[in-house]
Amino acid sequence: MNLPAIKGGTPVRDTKLFYGHQCIDENDVKAVSEVLVSDYLTCGPKVSELERKIAAYCGCKYAVAVSNGTAALHCACIAAGLKPGDEVITTPLTFAASANCVLYVGATPVFADVNPETYNIDPESIKAHITDKTKAVIAVDFTGQCVENEKIRAICDEYNLIFIEDAAHAIGSSYKGKKVGSLADMTCFSFHPVKTITSGEGGAITTNNEEFHKKLVLAHTHGITHDEDLMEDAPHEGPWYYEQISLGYNYRLTDIQSALLLSQLEKLELFKKKRQEIVKKYNDAFSQIPEIIVQKEIPESDTCRHLYIIRLNLDKLKCTRREFFDAMSAENIQCQVHYVPTYLFPYYRHLGYKEGLCPNAEEIYKGILSIPLYPTLSEKDTDDVIEAVKKIVDYYRFMPS
């Protein structure tokens, strides 16, 4: 038996691989440098150009660039008119922002369970949690795989709910040939460095609804406008004049960040192709290992995968998830866990949420690990990841007595 490094064996590699990493090239550096010596570092033409190109890529009418993915979700909740007393159904198997944004506007998150095979929110669980207080659904494209858009759309139409798609993981993914960003009432993206494309920090909201677009623009710029059609006191005093007509926030993206994202957007399809190649390689390797459960995908989703998650079948292993995590680290493969179910955090427990709300999500959480996935991984890198997983599984496998 090949002894794991954590037990005194030789690591599969000498240098660390992390679960995610940005992919920056000379064109990205050049794009940012050009803005740095231009007249505008922020509130300039690159932001508008970015918004046009995101909308064009997604196949929707409008895009609003914002400072991060959380800001995108917050603005979407504001545009949806959510308020205290309203309920919003979302998933617990996500980053906390998917539910926190509901709290920001005084509404109440309601957690629906996930499909035990795809890990995405279960439409039947959404339907089971609808009350007369429900006003919206925030469905998360977990790992980049599209949610069951048609079923969720039908539920939202039946109950007159606003459909917000949290696509922080899913730029580049498509559902039945339609790009994510064109499907929901509002779609929220994140451009953090570990996402498929990055602006350092950044986000965007896309929509086909003109009224939502107007509210999103106000929400991310202090509620201040220069648009005479929106002003209450027009005609105004002069070209300098503006009005604050609602309470908004400073969630603007800079021209520096926009230039980087514009450059990255040109490489998105290449990044998607490489990610899909790595995912196929991982799926082929791990589907043959009973101790590893592979996340399943719906056929409607052409997925640009942000995360690759292996789920340990702990009934077949003589180790805990923590022991497996540490053993991978000793092999110089640094994993991560995505995610702790949101309502299990102390803050949510203090609000009255209890363990057991979503049994599928809690069970999935117990065994999941995110392994390296990004376009600059070499064939040797992915071979090393597979070798490390197999090596540790072999060591900790339950053997017949």
Name the nearest CA neighbour of 401 among 322, 321, 318, 319. 318
Helix 69-79 with 97-104: angle, nearest 10 deg: 40
Instruction: Tell me how far apart the alpha carbons of residues 360 and 356 are, in angstroms, rounded to a whole number.
Output: 9
Per-residue confidence (pLDDT) for residue 179, from 0 to 100: 98
Is residue 178 predicted with pLDDT exceeding 80? yes
Please give the residue range of the domain that contains residue 82. 26-265
Instruction: Tell me how far apart the alpha carbons of residues 254 and 174 are, in angstroms, rounded to a whole number.
Output: 28
- Three-state SS for 5-23 is HHHCCCCCCCCCEECCCCC
Per-residue confidence (pLDDT) for residue 239, from 0 to 100: 83
Is residue 233 predicted with pLDDT exceeding 90? no
Is residue 65 predicted with pLDDT exceeding 80? yes
Greater confidence (383 vs 400) lies with: 383
Instruction: Tell me how far apart the alpha carbons of residues 34 and 120 are, in angstroms, rounded to a whole number.
Output: 41
Per-residue confidence (pLDDT) for residue 400, from 0 to 100: 65
Percentage of the chain lying above the pLDDT 70 cut = 99
**pLDDT tens readout for residues 256-291:** 999 999 999 999 999 999 999 999 999 999 999 999
Instruction: Tell me how far apart the alpha carbons of residues 240 and 236 are, in angstroms, rounded to a whole number.
Output: 9
Number of folded domains in the chain? Answer: 2
Q: Which residues pair with 137 in a beta bridge?
A: 89, 163
- Choosing from 265, 284, 299, the residue where a domain stops is 265
Name the nearest CA neighbour of 251 among 201, 317, 207. 201
Q: 264 is written with which tokens? A: 């990255």
Rounded average pLDDT over 136-145: 98
Per-residue confidence (pLDDT) for residue 199, from 0 to 100: 98
Q: 342 is written with which tokens? A: 């949101």
Per-residue confidence (pLDDT) for residue 187, from 0 to 100: 99
Could you tell me the CA-to-CA distances from 334 to 182, 282, 294, 330 in Å, in that order? 35, 16, 19, 8
The answer on 174 and 38 residing in a single domain is yes
The answer on 57 and 91 residing in a single domain is yes
The answer on 217 and 187 residing in a single domain is yes
Strand pairing class (186-190; 224-225): unpaired
The answer on 180 and 301 residing in a single domain is no
DSSP one-letter code for 242: -
The answer on 202 and 303 residing in a single domain is no
CB distance 394 to 2 below 8 Å? yes
The answer on 186 and 44 residing in a single domain is yes
Is residue 64 predicted with pLDDT exceeding 60? yes
Kindly report whether the global pTM for this prediction surpasses the value 0.95: yes
Tell whether 297 is covered by a domain: yes
Per-residue confidence (pLDDT) for residue 229, from 0 to 100: 82
Tell whether 145 is covered by a domain: yes
Name the nearest CA neighbour of 23 among 213, 194, 172. 194
Instruction: Tell me how far apart the alpha carbons of residues 144 and 172 are, in angstroms, rounded to a whole number.
Output: 9
Q: Is 24 helix (H, G, I), strand (E, B) or coil?
A: coil
Greater confidence (228 vs 19) lies with: 19
Is residue 234 predicted with pLDDT exceeding 70? no
Rounded average pLDDT over 358-381: 98
Is residue 347 predicted with pLDDT exceeding 70? yes
Instruction: Tell me how far apart the alpha carbons of residues 377 and 387 are, in angstroms, rounded to a whole number.
Output: 15
Instruction: Tell me how far apart the alpha carbons of residues 115 and 111 are, in angstroms, rounded to a whole number.
Output: 13
The overall average pLDDT reported for the chain is 97
Could you tell me the CA-to-CA distances from 200 to 19, 26, 253, 328 in Å, in that order? 17, 16, 11, 28
The answer on 280 and 256 residing in a single domain is no
Task: Name the band, by pLDDT with cuts 50, 70 and 90, for residue 398.
Answer: confident
The answer on 252 and 179 residing in a single domain is yes
CB distance 111 to 92 below 8 Å? yes
Per-residue confidence (pLDDT) for residue 235, from 0 to 100: 67
Q: Which residues pair with 175 in a beta bridge?
A: 178, 301
The answer on 97 and 203 residing in a single domain is yes
- Kind and range of the H or E run holding 88: strand 87-90
Rounded average pLDDT over 359-370: 98
Tell whether 88 is covered by a domain: yes
Rg (CA), the chain: 22
Per-residue confidence (pLDDT) for residue 401, from 0 to 100: 57
CA angle 188, 38, 40 (to 5 degrees): 45
Rounded average pLDDT over 133-154: 98
CATH classification of the domain holding 15: 3.90.1150.10
- Side-chain half-sphere of 93: how many Cα atoms within 13 Å? 28
The answer on 359 and 221 residing in a single domain is no
Tell whether 401 is covered by a domain: no
Helix 210-219 with 69-79: angle, nearest 10 deg: 120
136 CB-contact burial (10 Å; exposed 0-12 / middle 13-18 / buried 19+): buried
Say which amino acid occupies 347. Y
The answer on 140 and 53 residing in a single domain is yes
Percentage of the chain lying above the pLDDT 90 cut = 95
Per-residue confidence (pLDDT) for residue 232, from 0 to 100: 83
Rounded average pLDDT over 77-102: 98
The answer on 227 and 369 residing in a single domain is no
Tell whether 163 is covered by a domain: yes
Tell whether 180 is covered by a domain: yes
Per-residue confidence (pLDDT) for residue 316, from 0 to 100: 97
Is residue 335 predicted with pLDDT exceeding 70? yes
- Choosing from 265, 297, 324, the residue where a domain stops is 265
Per-residue confidence (pLDDT) for residue 227, from 0 to 100: 86
- Choosing from 209, 243, 265, the residue where a domain stops is 265
CATH classification of the domain holding 226: 3.40.640.10
DSSP 182-213: SSSSEEEEE--TTSSS--SS-EEEEES-HHHH
Instruction: Give the distance, in angstroms, between the CA of residue 296 and the centroid of all CA atoms in the same chain.
Output: 18
Tell whether 146 is covered by a domain: yes
Tell whether 70 is covered by a domain: yes
